[in-house]
Structure 1
Amino acid sequence: MTATMRATRAAGVLGSLCVLTLGVFHGGCALAQVQKPSPSEIVETAQDPYHHVIFENDDIRLFRVVIPPHGRTKWHRQALDYVNTPILGTTIHKDSLSEPSKDGSMKPGAVRYLPYSQKSDVDQVTNTGDTLNSQVAFEIKRKGIGHFGPADRTNTQAFKMILDKPVVRGWHVHLEPGQSTGDYTQSGPGVRVILAGGRLMTREKGAVAFSEQHLTQGDAAVLPKGTFEVINGGTTPMDYNEYELR
């Protein structure tokens, strides 16, 4: 066997190993050589056709990310801290200009925090599954910490912490029909992502009347500062994640 034949055979074995690892994030093996994009092929995250901005202010840029089966985002620049909540998960393939390519899966409700303000990246994500990949994500536009308050919800048992970072905290809330969170104070701007919807009733402290919203899975909103009570006014259990900037 010639040296060329041995090298070709070794490359084929390595390719097979890469395929076998599909579905598990790993750091050192790519399915194929990544073709680096030209500068003109790189867009800002908000300009990617699968990242849809649904709200933006000075603090938060909120996205609904919808990648069809086998769809692929453009190469997009990530330079702000990023929080991602998968709604409908799939297997994915991620190429990056700063890290090895990775294969893995997104699980519904699993939160990912990516500190891109500390180390920016340009990446491209492919939905390798046969179903829709749906996410709610937001960028934190103010860099650094200490802009707001402590993001403390320990006065109520309704909030179970799922994310604790210097710039943002997150909680999961499960409410049975008629159940209340009790009063809680939000000292910084926040984001609510609905995982299992229904009739959500909210009342700000000092008010008499509740406001009502009929929400479904994947609905999301940016929340103002204040002291509130939330009640599940529907007939089925409700689940959502809530995040607060610090």
Structure 2
Amino acid sequence: MTRTLCLFLCLAATLAAAPGGALETVETRAPTLPVERTPFHAPVFRNDAVAMLNVLLPPHRIAPYHEHSRDFAYVVVRESPTLVQNWGDAAPASIRWPRGAVGFGAFSKQSLTHKAENVGDSALAIVGFELLEPAPRGRAPSARPSRFEQIIDNERLRGWRLALKPGETVPAFTQTAPGVRIVVEGGELIETDAEGAGQNLALQPGAFQWRDAGPARALRNAGDTTIEMVEFELK
């Protein structure tokens, strides 16, 4: 079993038996919040296709019970030990999503209500997006160069991880479906188009971009640190 598949299965399991703090029974259940109104879940971008969420859960704080009802993809940017409790479970599960872990929940088919408590001494940071389109649109994602490691592929999206050391490059490729980039580790990236014009980008951990399908682009790490990011294309 690959590391990515193992992480995906573990994340899926905890997102269906996930975080929490003090136990709550059915009799004492507080009102369930929509995910975009949950404490420490900040809506940061929205278009016709996706709604981006920046989840930053401070140390020793709780995100109370909230419901996921749309398909949801996410990337863990900063890790911290967490208690996750699904609604109806007798006890929370203790987990630690590793930095860079990627997950997907098909919550349009079966919704999930859970809560999370960060029991560590550093913030837990997750960047994710809900898919607003009710069904796939029939888009065909890219064939990416070999430096991209494909890490997820399902009926809604395809995703790749890219890690570039200083000076490393990716040959030009064309993105054939729109999607999202999420930065895990930042640095200075240069994107060069087919005419040779380059754009320098200063990437920060947790930053994201909506990226339309478009012309060929090549990539180069122009900084002195390793860049790591995850890119998704929507189907």
TM-score class, shorter: 0.7 to 0.9
Q: How many residues end up aligned between the 2 structures?
A: 219
The alpha-carbon deviation at position 148 of structure 1 amounts to: 4.5
Mapping of residues 153-192 of structure 1, within 5 Å: 153-154=143-144, 156-192=145-181
Q: 1:201 to 1:98 in 2, by over 3 A?
A: farther
Please, which of 74, 77, 95 is the counterpart of residue 104 of structure 1?
Answer: 95
The whole-number CA distance in structure 2 between the counterparts of 1:149 and 1:27 is 32
- Which stretch shows the higher mean deviation, 177-186 or 54-63? 177-186
Consecutive unaligned residues of structure 2, counting only runs of 5 or more, are 1-12
Q: 1:63 to 1:200 in 2, by over 3 A?
A: same
Tell me the amino acid that sits aligned with residue 123 of structure 1: H
Query: RMSD over aligned Cα, in angstroms?
Result: 2.7
Q: 1:45 to 1:32 in 2, by over 3 A?
A: closer
Higher relative contact order (Cα pairs below 8 Å, separated by 6+ residues): 2
Q: Is the aligned partner of 1:50 residue 2:40?
A: yes
2:187 corresponds in structure 1 to: 198
Please, which of 60, 68, 72 is the counterpart of residue 78 of structure 1?
Answer: 68
| 1:93–1:102 CA contact under 8 A, matched in 2 | yes
TM-score by length of 2: 0.83
Q: Is the aligned partner of 1:211 residue 2:202?
A: no
2:80 corresponds in structure 1 to: 90
Write the deviation string for residues 119-169 of structure 1: whole angstroms up to 9, x where unpaired.
012211111222211111111111222x15221324x11211111111111
Consecutive unaligned residues of structure 1, counting only runs of 5 or more, are 1-23
Q: 1:55 to 1:123 in 2, by over 3 A?
A: same
| 2:30–2:65 CA contact under 8 A, matched in 1 | no
The whole-number CA distance in structure 1 between the counterparts of 2:138 and 2:105 is 20
2:212 corresponds in structure 1 to: 224
TM-score by length of 1: 0.79
Q: After TM superposition, where is structure 1 displaced by more than 6 Å over at least 4 residues in a row?
A: 37-40
The alpha-carbon deviation at position 86 of structure 1 amounts to: 0.9
